[in-house]
A = this chain, B = another copy of it.
Amino acid sequence: MATTIKDIAKKAGVSISTVSLVLNRKGYVAPETKERISSVMKQMNYKPLHSARKLATQKTGNIGYIIWEGHFSEVEMFYSQIFLGMEYAARKSDSYILLTTVKEDFDPKNDLPRFLKYNDVDGVALAGRVSHALIEYLDNQQLPFVLIDYELPGKSFNCVKIDNYNGAFRAVENLVLADKKHIAFIGGTFFHPSIKERYRGYREALEKYNLANDGYLKKYSYCENIETSRAIGENGATKLLNRHPEIDAIFCCNDTTAMGVITGIQKIGKRIPQEIAVVGFDDIPPAEYNIPKLSTLRVPKLEIGKQAFMLLNELINNPNMVPQTRMISVDLVIRESSHSESNER
């Protein structure tokens, strides 16, 4: 038997109520009693039983983290890093993040994650593209939730977003200022709002410098309407460069695609970045180890997780809160793939 609050009370010569008070840092307890109790707790290595506490407070102390199965299993380390950010934040507040996946053809009747089925969470974070049926379900249940890196047009839910537009804009502007004239875009499905926004940033930066005239966008954009992958990048680069050898820079919808693009360029035999500059988005770990090292926009994944956790907690404690969107900025990280000086030093 582990030691309980009773043992502590007895040993410290007080009632369990008092022990509970110091445990929860609530009410006033005489400094000396407090001190005594604390030392007894430490000495007996006391650990309050969570389930008892939860039963009494009627809170679960758990937060659900839901992600589409495909996203979790695919190339992207992206959403697991965000999970990690939440987990870090959770450590401080003693709650647990329950990670689970949901099928692409999710049906609330049959596929409900069990922590939802059994009311084992106080709130839920939804990472990335996720079933609208699920969002609706949560909304109806009045269970607090936040969307991460996702949104529904016309709806105002609590969410944490990446500043895709400004990041893309800055990256492309940077290429223009580096005297690149023919800047291509390679990407995956626009179904995901992030990709769409990145494209918008690309387009508007070109417009600002009056580059996006006549067929420019059409000629220099290559998108496949599927989840992003290296393959898209490699295909895209090959096709685009064969058709338009004047291309001197490629802005990619994310790093995974960019790494494929680099492979494609290398096979054709052009030099990066001297002949073609490549910029990605996300700054996933392999970006830094790629050869050449990939220039990209650093998305602060841990910070996003943290913000999601904090927003969700506010929401849990104050269910009538006005919905808000937190937009997290990104940093342009210049590495070898877009910075010709790096080879001349």
Contact = CB atoms under 8 A, between A and B. Distances in A.
A114 B119 CA distance: 22
A55 B48 CA distance: 12
A62 B231 CA distance: 40
A54 interface: yes
B2 A119 contact: yes
Contact of A100 (B87, B94, B115): B87
Contact of A74 (B60, B101, B263, B285): B285
Contacts of A152: none
Interface string A229-244: 1110010000000000
B285 A118 contact: no
Contacts of A100: 87
Contact of A47 (B2, B83, B87, B118): B118
A2 to B, nearest CB: 6
Contacts of A94: 114, 118
A231 B285 contact: no
B87 A99 contact: yes
Contacts of A263: 263, 266, 291
Contacts of A73: 77, 81, 84, 285
Interface string A283-308: 00110011100000000000000000
Given A98-B96, A101-B87, A114-B94, A291 B80 contact: no
Contact of A51 (B47, B51, B290): B51
A237 to B, nearest CB: 12
A245 to B, nearest CB: 21
Given A74-B285, A99-B99, A291 B51 contact: no
Interface of A: 2, 47-52, 54-55, 60, 62, 72-75, 77, 80-81, 83-84, 87, 91, 94, 96-101, 114-115, 117-120, 229-231, 234, 263, 266-267, 285-286, 289-291
Nearest 7 A/B pairs, CB to CB = A51-B54, A51-B51, A51-B55, A47-B118, A52-B55, A231-B289, A96-B98
